[in-house]
Amino acid sequence: MVVMPSRLPWLALLAAVVLALVVHLQADSALPFWAGMPAWVLMFIVLQAALTLIAAWIARP
C-alpha cells in the first residue's frame, strides 16, 4: 500500500494522540520524579514538542 506523502503528518498526529492516551493511562504519581515533575508529565511535554513538529510538517508547502 502506498501512503500519500501528504497523509504522513496526519498519521504521525494520530500516533501522537494514541501515545498521549497511553501515557495518561499509565500515569501514576508513584512514577519517578525528574526536575521536580512526574515522569509522565515530562513525557507529555515531549509529546507537546512532537505536536509542534508535526504542525510544522503539516505547514510545509
Partner 1 sequence: MSTTLISALVALVAYLLALLWLGAQSLDGQTNSADSYFLADRRLRAGVLFFTLIATNFSAFFFLGFAGAGYRIGIAYYPMMAFGTGLAALSFGSLGCRVRRLSAQHGLITPSELIGHLFPGEGVRLLVLAVMVLFTLPYLALQPLGAGYLLESLTGGAVPFEVGAVLLTVVIVLYVVGGGMRAVALTDVLQGILMFVLMLMAFVAVAKGVGGVQTANRTLLQQLPDLFSGAGRNDFFTPRMMASYLLLWPLCLPMFPQMLMRFFAAGDDRSLKQSMVLYPVVAGVLFICPVMIGMWGHLAFPDLVGRASDQIMPLMLGRYSPAWLTGIVMVGALAAFMSTLDSQLLALSSMLTRDLYKRYWRPQASLAEQVRVGQLVVIALAVAGLAIALRPPEAILSLATHAFSGLALLFPMLVGAVYGLRWSVVGAMLSVIGGEAVLLGFAMGVIPQVFQGGCLPLIPALVVACMVLGVDYVIAQCLRPAEA
Q: Which residues bind partner 1 (CB under 8 A)?
A: 13, 17, 20-21, 24-30, 33, 35-38, 40-41, 44-45, 47-49, 51-52, 54-56, 58-59
Shortest reach from residue 2's CB to partner 1, in Å: 22
- Picking from 3, 9, 21, the residue whose alpha carbon sits closest to that of residue 51 is 9
**Number of H-type helices and E-type strands within the chain:** 2, 2
Shortest reach from residue 48's CB to partner 1, in Å: 4
Cell triple for residue 7?
Answer: 497523509
- Which residue bears the cell 519517578? 32
Shortest reach from residue 31's CB to partner 1, in Å: 9
